Amino acid sequence: MPEERTSLGTVYDLRGKRVWVAGHGGIVGSALVRRLKHEKCTILTITRQEVDLTRQDQVEAWMRETAPDAVFLSAAKVGGIFANESYPADFIYDNLLIEANVIRTAFEVGVEKLLFLGSSCIYPKLATQPIVEEELLSGPLEPTNQWYSIAKIAGIKLCQAYRSQHDCDFISAMPTNIYGPGDNYDLNSGHVVPSLLQKAHNAKMSSAASLEIWGTGSPMREFMHVDDCADALVFLMKHYSDKGHINVGSGKDIRIDDLALLIMKIVGFQGELVRDTAKPDGMARKLMSSDRLAALGWRAGIELEAGLRQVYAERFGNENPRERKALRLD
């Protein structure tokens, strides 16, 4: 049997299955729940207050009691560049424990299929762009998010180890930078899209003269609407069964200052763009190659500008009835 076999033929049928979305309160988890409602499966969720996923005993009790057939492991401690730099211990410790507990227990209780979610942060700082899956562990990591990436790399390896030793059908997907409903709009801990939407909105409301972005504005980032991401993840759950992790991206990236200008246009803020170069840039570029996903038959469908317009209107309201109708907000 070849090492890397594509497995479009081996469809995992979600109909009638009990599917646990671990992390259903987060941006990706909540989008997965919305998407799975079209799949005729039973969706299982549990709040953080009821089950702390960093506690092995609680994870075991919950999984033994509910016996899920399939698991989307979208629970994680996540945050933007500033949060990663400020709380390195939390980012590495919480993520290692969550994935170790859930993956190990999934094996023990006989979960048929598990999809582990990582991120494009797993790749080396100087990875060749667009980044193909084989770039993993080919060089040193970007220091600002190394804690998170090391934990996510360990998650991929856990899935591979359980596949190799116990024949578990555990797969890993690496989404690019996600934005959409349920995002974190806190200016200190959030990622760039919600932060800039919030900042531009505040600037417009207060008739400010300028909007400040962090860093030089020259880094490039790839963005994907979370509904596209959730659709890709369900597709992979059904159609992919290999040890190699797989990138989930839109295939297009944009400079951060161009993103800021686009957001200013969408929000309707006409002030000046200023740069706080005391803040870090992070990776210069991290565009992933999504060729492997495309070869399986899935492509992103939501363009960045349309997606941002929709998110802005949903979050901050949109008075224009014609635009609301076009965005299907009513």
Catalytic annotation, residues = 148
Binding mask 199-218 for ligand GDP (x = CB under 6 A): --------------xxx---
Kindly tell me the number of DSSP H helices and DSSP E strands found in the chain: 11, 11
Residue nearest to ligand GDP (CB): 80
Asked if 113 contacts 242 with a C-beta cutoff of 8 angstroms, the reply is no
Q: Which of 239, 265, 279, 324 binds ligand GDP (CB under 6 A)?
A: 279
Least distance from ligand GDP to the Cβ atom of residue 150, Å: 14
Least distance from ligand GDP to the Cβ atom of residue 284, Å: 9
Q: Is 77 in the site for ligand GDP (CB under 6 A)?
A: no
Near ligand GDP in 283-322, by CB under 6 A: none
Q: Is 249 in the site for ligand GDP (CB under 6 A)?
A: no
Scanning 61-69, 89-97, 240-248, 275-283 for contacts with ligand GDP by CB under 6 A, the matching segment is 275-283
Least distance from ligand GDP to the Cβ atom of residue 269, Å: 14
Q: Please confirm whether the linkage preceding 130 is cis (ω < 30° from 0).
A: yes
Residues paired with residue 224 on neighbouring β-strands, in sequence order? 178
Asked if 22 contacts 29 with a C-beta cutoff of 8 angstroms, the reply is yes
DSSP 8-class letter at 263? H
CB count within 10 Å of CB 235 equals 17
Asked if 116 contacts 159 with a C-beta cutoff of 8 angstroms, the reply is yes
Q: Is 177 in the site for ligand GDP (CB under 6 A)?
A: yes
Whole-number Å distance between alpha carbons of 139 and 124: 5
**Which C-beta is closer to ligand GDP: that of 219 or that of 249?**
219
Residues paired with residue 206 on neighbouring β-strands, in sequence order? none
For helices 88-108 and 146-166, the axis angle rounded to 10 degrees is 10
Binding site for ligand GDP (CB under 6 A): 80-81, 121, 145, 177, 190-192, 195-196, 213-215, 219, 221, 256, 279-282
